[in-house]
Amino acid sequence: MIARILTIAGSDSGGGAGIEADIKTISALGGYACTAITAVTAQNTTGVYGIHFLPGAFVGLAIETVLSDIGADAIKIGMLGNADIVRSVTAALPGNIPVVLDPVMVATSGACLLEPDAIALLRAELIPRAVLITPNLPETLALTGILPSEAADFELAGGVFLGMGAKAVLIKGGHGDAEIITDVLIHAGGMETFTHPRIAGSNTHGTGCTLASAIATGIAQGMTLPDAVRRACRHLQNAIAQAPGFGQGHGPVWHGAGG
């Protein structure tokens, strides 16, 4: 049976991140994507020029409508935007479907994508529902007060996330400046690192969305969490390496690269 993944995220008019990146990635890895759109944006590779949030009740209705008919084997959550949407998404989530949470807070261009009053709700209500949370380094700092640079820092920050109720956390090292990027997976069973060379260039728009939706697809397909992360990292490396070079700013990756 084809794995079903429900993605809850914002729409990127430029096609590089958000719902568009999720659908392309899930499809490339053999899954079936359903969506609940939290916001529509006017953006391209140079920045975000407008955001229109959908009412939280409508987002919740979209989730419930999809799940009551098509169902899902995993749920990926990305951009939520405000407290109203966080509350509605949390209320609509069933307890028996694994959730991968990408805590989208700031766009590659620097635009704020999560309002301050929503952050406390994310910590208290949504992180405890996640089988995996995938913060980058700035998001890790914002949510835990820790900016990891060494193994002990990653372990300490990971412990904070587990203390919030997450079953596992993948702290992504791409925002560092090392030539070898290290992503660290922390869960109750221990810690595992995934390393890959940094690929030069500015075509990194949508990397977080692509990675999280790829992991969710792997989980939906029955992979173990480490194997799902490993394939997702490989897929993202291929996607960056094969980026089409569109636009004048941070161009999109090639989501269809495969794992």
What CATH number did the domain enclosing 116 receive?
3.40.1190.20
Q: Exactly one of 172, 173, 233, 259 is catalytic; name it.
A: 172
CB-based contacts of 224, cutoff 8 Å, min separation 6: none
**Is 0.85 topped by the overall pTM?**
yes
The SS3 assignment for 189 reads coil
CA distances from 211 to 25, 97, 236 (A): 9, 19, 6
How many CA atoms are closer than 13 Å to the CA of 207, on its beta-carbon side? Answer: 27
Kind plus residue range of the DSSP H or E element containing 71: none
pLDDT the model gives residue 109: 60
Q: Is 204 a catalytic residue?
A: yes
Q: Is 233 a catalytic residue?
A: no
pLDDT the model gives residue 105: 82
As a whole number of angstroms, the distance between CA 25 and CA 82 comes to 25
Q: Which domain holds residue 88?
A: 4-257
pLDDT the model gives residue 107: 65
Q: Exactly one of 204, 218, 233, 251 is catalytic; name it.
A: 204
Q: Exactly one of 31, 158, 206, 218 is catalytic; name it.
A: 206
Beta strands in the chain (DSSP E): 4-11, 32-44, 47-53, 74-77, 99-101, 132-133, 168-171, 180-187, 190-197
Q: Is 209 a catalytic residue?
A: yes
Closest-CA residue to 246 (of 27, 46, 11): 46
Q: Give exposure, 134-163, as e/b (b: 16+ Cβ within 10 Å).
A: bbbbebbebbbebebeeeebbeebbebbbe
Q: Give me the number of domains the chain comprises.
A: 1
pLDDT the model gives residue 103: 94
pLDDT the model gives residue 125: 93
Q: Exactly one of 56, 81, 173, 208 is catalytic; name it.
A: 208
- Kindly state the DSSP code that residue 54 receives in the 8-state scheme: P
Q: Is 34 a catalytic residue?
A: no
Closest-CA residue to 172 (of 137, 205, 201): 137
Check if the beta carbon of residue 6 is closer than 8 Å to that of residue 213.
no
Quick one: 190 exposed, middle or buried, by C-beta within 10 A (0-12, 13-18, 19+)?
Answer: exposed
Chunk the chain into consecutive blocks of 10 residues (it has 259) and report each block's average pLDDT, rounded to whole numbers: 97 97 98 98 94 97 98 97 95 97 78 81 94 95 90 91 97 83 92 91 91 98 97 94 92 87
Q: Exactly one of 45, 140, 207, 217 is catalytic; name it.
A: 207
pLDDT the model gives residue 152: 86
Q: Exactly one of 15, 16, 174, 209 is catalytic; name it.
A: 209
Enumerate the β-bridge partners of residue 47. Answer: 44
